[in-house]
Chain A
Amino acid sequence: MSNGRIRSRYYTKEHEAFRSSLRRFVAKEITPNIPTWEEAGRFPRELYAKAANIGLLALGFPEEYGGTSVDGFYQLILTEELSRCGSGGLVAGLMSHGIGAPPIASMATAELKAEVLPRILSGQSISALAISEPGGGSDVAQLRTTAKRDGDSYVVNGEKTFITSGMRADYITTAVRTGGEGMGGVSLLLIPGDSSGLSRTELKKMGWWCSDTATLHFDDCRVPSRYLLGPENAGFMGIMQNFNNERLFIAVMAWAFAQLCFEEALTWAKDRKTFGKPLIRHQVLRHKLVDMRTALEGTRASLEDLTWRVDQGEWPVAEVCMMKNRATQCMELCAKEAVQILGGLGYMQGSISERVYRETKVLAIGGGAEEIMKELAARQLGWLT
């Protein structure tokens, strides 16, 4: 609800004011256009600047480079409310700097930050993150794209794939091998979109239609060495820390989309009549709705708890991994049951649940696959030492 009432102990009046303003922005500027943008496979580039105007892109970045430093609940509200547009592609594409730009903010030289961050945070430039390769995704330590030092530049060769905003990005935060085998030879290099030797191929997807996704080809691509983020061969930790942000962001998205499916199914179940009574009067269907609501409540509570812990300065890696799995499983349940409750309508394009159903897998795979999350959690909990 956006009535100014405070939802739980974590939220202040300013949080609710932000939610209320954002909800109206999304309902007016984004949601009505989603069917068109999904069909077109793009949302307009101008949306980045519009989003920047109400402070969405700057959120969580340092103020000296145009950011707004706030607590983690603003990020949670931002992702939740943006997701109400009903398209994960929109959220992932519009917010791709949320994974592309933090390594710039934490690792770049002051000079490079001043050059790049204000452009990204004002929506002039699009930022993307490029880690996965055709030869391997989650196994970051084995990546094969190389960057060889040549005078005052790096020469990059290799391929990156499944890159969100990959077709349009102006700055690509790229994981490259600058040293020997394994995690100790990996660096993060910021590659400008207009670099010579960079070409892009668009990828078609099951869902997330309105976001552009690409394979990037680096063929003797020359990048000035000042675009290196942090010291050479010290990129692995930066990549891992960035994954934590991304996974929490994905968890909020998954929960928010699960919520949309639930709301659509509940409304339908009250309106649609079969065998002389509304669907919700059939026990088997209302129990489905209770299962959905049960999963949603648990996911919300643990998301808020984890957000609070991160705000206190903790970095609970295992909990973030498990949170991502819990939230994407909640989304899979809610999308599946919502489509079932909507029946034929749920299989037709035009319902929110139909789209969300096609978007469940990308969240269970992207940012670290479900299986990797479990493995990482087990290791972080110290069970294998």
Chain B
Amino acid sequence: MKILVTAKRVVDPDSKIQIADTQTSIELDDVDFRVNYFCENAIEAALELQDEHDAEVVVCSIGNEDAIQTIRTGLAMGGDRGILVEAEDEVLDGDLVARTLAKLYEQEKPDIFLLGKQAIDGDSNQVGQLLAEYLSLPQACFASNIDIIEDGAVARVEREVDGGIETIDVDLPCIITADLRLNEPRYASLPGIMKAKRKKIEEFELDDLELDTTLKVVTRSMELPAGRQAGVMVSDVDELVNKLKSEAKVL
């Protein structure tokens, strides 16, 4: 079995975010980066399947050369090898990312392509679905549990839907996107980090993949949420209720 899994490099949400002068991107100089949380769940799921089904786990990322570190984190967790497609964020949109990953699918022919359900920076939540469409493969998105059944022919996936769990079966090969409750991702261990140093990472330029790189979505502007207004002290409950009725108009 072979599993291809994504490791997107995103800004650590604990960093202080500032908008760049262009107003269309985030200032990246003084922020920390990490592997997208949902990708970490996807990697963990891949590594659990690696143990159970002797699968090869290939960790891929699209990004600038620093995304190598993100792939290495996946390899330090236990991935077997990596693929980087070098491209700056500015030249990508969700659709192009999906078409790029489709090219990697064609090269690697994995049994399962695992992704995070969305990236915590763009929050688009579309790449897994688009990828399934482009490849004409079955998709199981927002997975909270994955079992491979029928001798590796079928993935039984539990999905968190409003108010409950839906269980679906999809034939392999398939696309699965990971939700937070799928698992508890392991930490990269020191021996894992040392081993990852020697694992192979293949690198491509976006141009090598012969894609139409015209963007379908262009970011026009970004703005931070308005600062919080100072609060008002009220002297008693009556005044509070009064204000909620007359000023806030929420009662």
Contacts and interface: CB of A to CB of B under 8 A. Distances in A.
Interface of A: 1-4, 13-14, 17-18, 20-22, 24-25, 53-56, 58-59, 68, 70, 74
A53 B196 CA distance: 16
Which of B76, B189, B192, B194 is packed against the most chain A CB atoms within 10 Å? B189
A68 B194 contact: yes
A74 B191 CA distance: 12
Interface stretch (B66-74, B145-153, B155-163, B234-242): B66-74
Contacts of A25: 187
**Which 8 pairs between the two chains have the least Cβ-Cβ distance?**
A55-B190, A3-B32, A21-B188, A55-B189, A54-B189, A4-B69, A54-B187, A25-B187
Contacts of A3: 12, 31-33
Contacts, number: 59
A55 B69 contact: no
Contacts of B109: none
A70 B187 contact: no
A20 B69 CA distance: 11
Given A4-B69, A13-B69, A74 B190 contact: yes
Nearest to B72: A17
Given A21-B76, A68-B194, A2 B32 contact: yes
A17 B189 contact: no
Nearest to A4: B69
B197 interface: yes
A74 to B, nearest CB: 7
Given A4-B66, A4-B69, A13-B69, A18 B190 contact: yes
Interface in B117-151: none
Contacts of A54: 187-190
Contact of B190 (A2, A4, A24, A70): A70
A81 to B, nearest CB: 12
Contacts of B194: 14, 68, 70
Nearest to A2: B32
Contact of A14 (B12, B186, B189, B197): B197
Interface string B179-209: 0000000111111111011000000000000
A14 B69 contact: no
B39 to A, nearest CB: 14
A2 B32 CA distance: 6
Contact of A58 (B33, B76, B186, B190): B190
Contacts of B197: 14
B60 to A, nearest CB: 18
A226 B3 CA distance: 51
A2, A18, A21 — most chain B CB neighbours (10 Å): A21
A58 to B, nearest CB: 7
A3 B191 CA distance: 21
Given A4-B66, A54-B188, A21 B193 contact: yes
6 contacts: A4-B33, A17-B73, A20-B34, A21-B73, A24-B34, A24-B187
A24 B185 CA distance: 12
A21 B69 CA distance: 12
Interface in B46-105: 66, 69, 72-73, 76
Given A3-B31, A18-B188, 7 more contacts: A21-B73, A24-B187, A53-B189, A55-B193, A58-B190, A59-B190, A68-B191
Contacts of A58: 190-191
A152 B108 CA distance: 64
B192 A55 contact: yes
A1 B187 contact: no
A56 B193 CA distance: 12
Contacts of A59: 190
Contacts of A2: 12, 32
Contacts of B193: 14, 17-18, 21, 55
A269 B69 CA distance: 35
A21 B189 CA distance: 7
Contacts of B69: 4, 13, 17
Interface string B1-30: 000000000001000000000000000000
